[in-house]
Amino acid sequence: MAKKTKDDIRIIRPEPLPTVELLTGRIHNHAYRPHAHEEYAIGVVEAGVQRYREPGGTYPAPAGTLYTLNPGDVHAGEAATEAGYHYRLAYVPENLLHSYLEIEPGAFPSHPHFRQRLTQDPALAREFNRVLASLADPATCRVKAESELVLTLRTLFHRHGELAPKEELPDAGAHAIRRVKEYIKQRAAEPITLSEMAEQAGLSRYHFIRVFKKHTGLAPHAYLTQIRVFQAKAAIESGLPLADAAFASGFADQSHMTRSFKAIFGITPGKVQKTA
């Protein structure tokens, strides 16, 4: 039996821009579970083909494809062939992209929004891949690295983005879902129940499950797990031991945290701890 090729996934906090997180991956076996990020996720498929999945369907993402995901966009994926795929990605905080685009906070009743999750622009993909590689290189001049990122992200947005109106949910569940999401973030370390979530929304449990998934793309338990993973990652990066990070973020134990963490990030908490 042929030996499986190991996945290689790395997370980097570039010195020039510690608020930006870079991810490089050579994926053959791992399948990312559906999840979303609070930042923009912008990157490039360097080689191979990913099978990209989102609530609206499943699509091939071949080499040269740009990932242009907005905050909150639910997505998942895995290798489309045995050859796997390689990619680079940057998680860019909303306030940083806004500053690069010279958008003042609260200046518009709208927000920067990429029109497509997968974008085809071969020349720009090559340039952005080069910029990400340069940003990950500690030998790169800090001013040069950020300057190139600013210019490339502005070009990407002007070609493939728009100032979209801030979403106004059309029913009474609008504020309820936002309220529940904040409730989950604040109390993720506690044993939150479905009844408590539904009560916060003012809905029956059945109705709450349907409304929550409609507006977030995730079931309530999946969103809760995702928030716990993000909080565990932040705790680990701050220096908290793994077992303490698991407890502080609401996981039953370290092994439960590890399984959930790897399903979203493709690597174990221990690997993040080593690079923190």
> Which positions ≥6 away from 225 have C-beta within 8 Å?
260
- DSSP label of 26: E
Closest CA to 153 of 173, 137, 135: 135
* Whole-angstrom distance, CA of residue 197 vs CA of residue 183: 8
pLDDT value for 55: 92
* Whole-angstrom distance, CA of residue 79 vs CA of residue 83: 8
* Whole-angstrom distance, CA of residue 63 vs CA of residue 120: 10
Task: Give pTM, 2 decimals.
Answer: 0.88
Other C-beta atoms closer than 10 Å to the C-beta of 16 total 17
pLDDT value for 237: 93
Length in residues, the chain:
276
Beta-bridged to residue 62, according to DSSP, are: 49
Domains of the chain by start residue, with CATH: 8-165 (2.60.120.10), 173-275 (1.10.10.60)
Over the chain (276 residues), the average pLDDT of each successive run of 10 is 79 86 96 96 98 96 98 96 96 93 67 93 97 91 91 96 67 80 96 94 92 92 96 95 96 96 94 83
* Whole-angstrom distance, CA of residue 217 vs CA of residue 54: 9
177 is written with which tokens? 């879902």
